[in-house]
Amino acid sequence: MSAETDEFRTIRGPSGAETKVLGSRFIAGAYPIADEEAAESRLRSLREEYHDATHHCHAYRLGIDGKRFRTSDDGEPAGTAGRPILAAIEKAALTDVLVVVTRYFGGTKLGVGGLLRAYGGAADAALAAAAIITKYITRSVDITFPHPLVGVVMHAIETSGGAVCDTRYDDLVHLRVEIRTSRVDEFCGILRERTGGKAGIDVPE
C-alpha cells in the first residue's frame, strides 16, 4: 500500500482461530475496523466475554497506507505479543484490521521465543480464516443532464465501476455518483464525450 493508490486490502468480517501451546490456550480473533474507537469498543467486549483470561494482547492497523497502528502486550514481556500480531497483519498486507489474541495461561512459561511464535502463529491463523476483500477510496461526482441521456449516462457509470448514491428529477436529471479516485478524470472525460458536452459535471472538494 502507498499514498499513491486508492485501493487497500482488509477483511470482510470477523474470523477466528484457537491454538494450544504447552497447555496455554490462545484464542485469536480478527475484526474489520474503521477507526480507533471501533478497536477500543471491540476490545472492551472481548475483555468482558473472556473476563477470566490471563492476557488480551492485540494490534491494529488503520488507513490506506497502514501507517496508523497500535500494539499491546497486555502484561506479557515487552515486544513478545503485540509486535508479532502486528507483523502478521503486515505480512498479510491488510489494513483497517484489529487482531486480538486472548491467552489462558496453562502453567508452563513459554519464554520469549515461544511467546513470539505463539502470538504470531495465532494471529496468522485468525487472518488465514478471514475473507480478504479489496476496498477503494472514492470521490463524489455530481452530474446534471437531460432526461433522454439517462441510458448513455448510466452506461458510462456502469462501465466506469461507479455507484449512484443520490438521484433527483425535475426538468433535468441530477445524479451523485461515487467513483474510484483514480478513475474520476477518465470518467468525466467519458461523460463529456458520450453526452456531447450536454452533461453538467461537478466534482465537489
Verify that 148 and 127 share a domain, yes or no. Answer: no
Verify that 88 and 173 share a domain, yes or no. Answer: no
Q: Which amino acid is at 160?
A: S
- Decide if 130 is inside a domain: yes
Tens of each residue's pLDDT in the chain, 205 residues: 333 589 999 999 999 999 999 999 999 999 999 999 999 999 999 999 999 999 999 999 999 999 999 999 999 999 999 999 999 999 999 999 999 999 999 999 999 999 999 999 999 999 999 999 999 999 999 999 999 999 999 999 999 999 999 999 999 999 999 999 999 999 999 999 999 999 999 999 8
CA 29 – CA 79 distance, rounded (Å): 19
CA 198 – CA 141 distance, rounded (Å): 15
Query: What's the domain range around 192?
Result: 138-202
Tally of domains within the chain: 2
Verify that 94 and 128 share a domain, yes or no. Answer: yes
Q: 82-91 vs 111-128: helix axis angle to the nearest 10? A: 40
- Decide if 160 is inside a domain: yes
Q: Of 134, 158, 184, at which residue does a domain stop?
A: 134
State residue 91's pLDDT score.
97
Q: What is the pTM of this model?
A: 0.84
CA 110 – CA 22 distance, rounded (Å): 8
pLDDT tens digit sequence for 46-101: 999 999 999 999 999 999 999 999 999 999 999 999 999 999 999 999 999 999 99
